[in-house]
Every structure is written in structure tokens, then in C-alpha cells.
Amino acid sequence: MNEIALRYGMNPHQKPARAYVETGEMPFKVLNGSPGFINLLDLLNASALVKELDGATGLPAAASFKHVSPAGAAVGVAMSKEVAKASFADDLEPSPLATAYARARGADRMSSFGDAVALSRPCDLATARFIRREVSDCVIAPGYEPGVVDVLKKKSGGRYLVVEADPSYEPPEMETRVVQGVTMEQPRNAYRITDKLLSNVVTKRKDLPESARRDLLVATVALKYTQSNSVCFALGGQVIGLGAGQQSRLHCTRLAGSKADMWWLRQHPMILGLKFKKGVGRAVMNNAIEAILTETRQDPFAADAWKETFEERPPTLARDEKRSWIEGLKGVSLSSDAFFPFRDSIDRAAESGVEYVLQPGGSVRDKGVIEACDEYGMVMACSGVRLFHH
């Protein structure tokens, strides 16, 4: 089969819509549900990301994709009890692949609501059970263990989209895009992300521990499949903050940094100790946590609205308490899909615990950016490789 009908195109009024290949077979099979245009954009990009991330690290990888950019991506590194609880995964069944997806989902749980899930290895029951209880639209994996598809079919009233990727598929060397009737052609971005990108360390400090090398690879592979401009923060084998699709490098860094701060604040003892009412859904919990951590008012819940969600009135974190906690975030890795034109992004990154940086370099102000890294005691490598994705 080299063509499938889609529910609709980018929007419901864009009908009919289809997906097809010019030659050969489709590189995936639909095992359940009916894909839409955006589903396939997310699934195909996400599948390529996790395949490359697994190849770069040798670890099972997962991604949580929304609107053609990853909300999170991770490899199967064991979680601390704090990270697991903040990710709503403290009861996770033992499985490196399930851990990878729990980490990917936990990077930015607000943005992951209704995501496309991508897995680098055949989906096991532990991962399927975790996916089933989360709000997501679809999943792609290079296979499914016995009984897994039946578990996933129970989502969304039986309409949950389950797609099996062909693990041996390699896209054609050339790719095209049609915009307003104009066809553009280019070689696909087949540049392989490896730790060779980390060899040109330009700062006074030179040491790159294995954990940082891994995290820089995680961040950089994620950027390769993120709408540009983009900056990614990573720690512990996972994305913890990603600023995608911004017109300014500083705004990318601010967005990624604010998400990393939120990821870290979710591990504050006060947040981990919140007492939610029995039966409150995870999405409602996420919204409540977000309200507590972002509101500047003394009480983010109007009147007695908290009673709908909590067993008791939740405490609040003052601005100085939040800042003090964020100062405990250390050892973060940052990757940028293009060079830093000014030092301002480094200044912002330092506020969120960044210690290791990878960027292409090549700006006329590289010297000032390197000096900024030296001031903060950071290690920075210049890869010479830009990774725009549009």
C-alpha cells in the first residue's frame, strides 16, 4: 500500500486529504484508529527523533510531541523518587522504555496534554499501561509486544491511533516541499548527531562528564526535530525545557529556562506534598500545580475554589522561596540549534543551572559569548553545525 486517506488536512475544513509515497510501500502501518494530517506530521518527526536518539546513546528513547515540536524527549535513565512523583510516575512498572516516556512526558506536562507518543523500541505492557492512563492522541513504535495493542485500543473509545513504524526504513536522499504552488527541493538533514560534536571545547574549563555528554546529545537530537529557532535544556537523560519556534535566540532561551524552572519547582517538597482529592484527574492536577507556581497573587484560587481539587487549602510559594529553590538546580546542559549572537542568552541560562553548552559558533561576537561562559564557569563546545528545522 502506498497511499492512505486521512480524516482531514491541517484543519477540519481541508478535505479530502491523503498521505502517499511515490514509490514503494508506506513506511508505517496503521494498527488502530484513523490518522489526520497533523497526527502524521507529529508521528513521523517524533519517530525519526527517537530512532536517532536511541542510536546516539544506545538507550531506549521516547518523545512526547505536540504541534510538530517535542514537548519532551528522554532516554531510559532511572528516575529519582522526586522526579518520578513530579512526573506522576511514582507507581511506574519497571521498564526502561516506560521510564523514557515518563521522563519525556514529565518534561512539560502542560504541553504534553494530548500528545503524540514515539518510542524507539517495541512497546511493552508497562509502557502501554502508562500511555493508557495519560491524555494522548496517538503512538508510534517499531513494534508492539503481545497484548499491547489491545491495551491501547481501549483508549478514546476504541479510536486511539496506533501506528507501527518500519524500523528498516530510510527516507530518500532528497525531499521536497510545496508552498503556495512553489516546489522546493533539498537533501534531507541526514547529519548524524554524535559526541564528535563536543570535541571543540572553547572555554577555559574543559571537563565534560559522561552525564553531560549524554544530556547534550539528548538536547541536540531533540533540537534537530524542533521548529526553529530553538534552545533546549537537558538533565538526567531528558529534556527539561525547550524553547521552540521563537524569532529571537534570547526568547528561545527564556522560554526553555522558564520551563526548566517549572520542571524543577514541581519537585519542591511543598508541591510533592500537595493533598489532592481522590479521583481528581492528572490534567486537573497539572493545572492546579501550574496555578500555584505561576500566580503572583497570595492565593491563586478564588474564594473556596481550591475545595474542588484539594483535601485542604494548598500552601503557596513566595517569589523569593521559588528563586531560592531554583538556585539549587545545577549541572544542566544546554544546546542551541544556531549560534548565540549576544551573551544575553548565556546570562539567562546561568539563572537556571546551566553548566554545559553546545552551540554551532560562528557569530562575530563569539568572543563575548565565550567570555560570558568563562565568567560563570561553564564548559562550552562549538560544533560548527547549524540544525534549523522548519
- By the 8 A CB rule, do 162 and 149 touch? yes
190-265+326-382 is classed CATH 3.40.140.20? yes
Does residue 336 contact residue 359 with C-beta atoms inside 8 Å? Answer: yes
Answer whether residue 167 shows pLDDT above 80.
Answer: yes
CA–CA dist 356, 365 (Å, integer): 19
Neighbours of 95 (CB within 10 A): 20
Residue 305: what pLDDT?
79
Kindly indicate the confidence band of residue 224, based on its pLDDT and cuts at 50, 70 and 90. very high
Please tell me the least confidently modeled range out of 31-45, 177-191, 297-311. 297-311
Task: Show Cβ contacts of residue 47 under 8 Å, excluding neighbours closer than 6 positions.
Answer: 28, 118, 140, 165
Q: What pLDDT, on the 0 to 100 scale, is given for residue 306?
A: 86
Predicted confidence band at 298 (pLDDT cuts at 50, 70, 90)? low
User: Which residues are known to be catalytic?
Assistant: 66-67, 229, 390
**Phi, psi angle pair for 289, to nearest 5°:** -60, -45
Chain Cα centroid distance, residue 132: 19
What nine digits make up the cell of 162? 496506533
User: Within its chain, how far is the Cα of 385 from the centroid?
Assistant: 21
Confidence of residue 332 (pLDDT cuts 50, 70, 90): very high
All structural domains of the chain with their residue ranges: 3-170, 190-265+326-382, 271-316
Q: Which homologous superfamily is 3-170 in? A: AICAR transformylase, duplication domain (3.40.140.20)
- Overall average pLDDT of the 32-43 stretch: 96
Beta-sheet strands, E only, within the chain? 3-6, 17-20, 28-32, 61-66, 69-75, 115-119, 136-141, 161-165, 174-179, 182-187, 230-235, 238-244, 332-336, 354-359, 379-382
pLDDT band at 316 (very low <50, low <70, confident <90, very high): confident
Q: What is the mean pLDDT of residues 297-309?
A: 75
Separation of alpha carbons 8 and 260, rounded Å = 35
Helices then strands, each counted (H, E), the chain? 12, 15
Is the pLDDT assigned to residue 303 strictly greater than 80?
no
3-state secondary structure of 343: coil
Distance (Å, whole) CA 177 – CA 276: 48
The overall average pLDDT reported for the chain is 95
**Distance separating alpha carbons of residues 339 and 316, to the nearest angstrom:** 39
Domain 3-170 and domain 190-265+326-382 have a common topology: yes
Question: Closest by alpha carbon to 363, among 346, 376, 379?
Answer: 346
pLDDT of residue 297: 60
Give exposure, 39-54, as e/b (b: 16+ Cβ within 10 Å).
bbbbbbbbbbbbbbbb
C-alpha cell at 240: 527539561
pLDDT in tens, 65-115: 999 999 999 999 999 999 999 999 999 999 999 999 999 999 999 999 999
pLDDT at 296: 60
Nearest to 118 by CA among 151, 70, 85: 70
Residue 188 main-chain phi, psi, to 5 deg: -65, 160
Q: Which residues contact 140 (CB under 8 A, 6 or more apart)?
A: 28, 43, 44, 46, 47, 116, 117, 118, 119, 163, 164, 165
Q: 43-65 pLDDT, tens per residue?
A: 999 999 999 999 999 999 999 99
The pLDDT, as a whole number, for residue 299 is: 64
Measured CA to CA, the distance from residue 11 to residue 218 in angstroms comes to 32
Q: Are strands 332-336 and 230-235 parallel, antiparallel or unpaired?
A: antiparallel
Query: Lowest-confidence range among 197-206, 271-280, 288-297?
Result: 288-297
Average pLDDT over residues 7-33: 95
Q: How far, in Å, CA of 139 to CA of 26, rounded?
A: 17
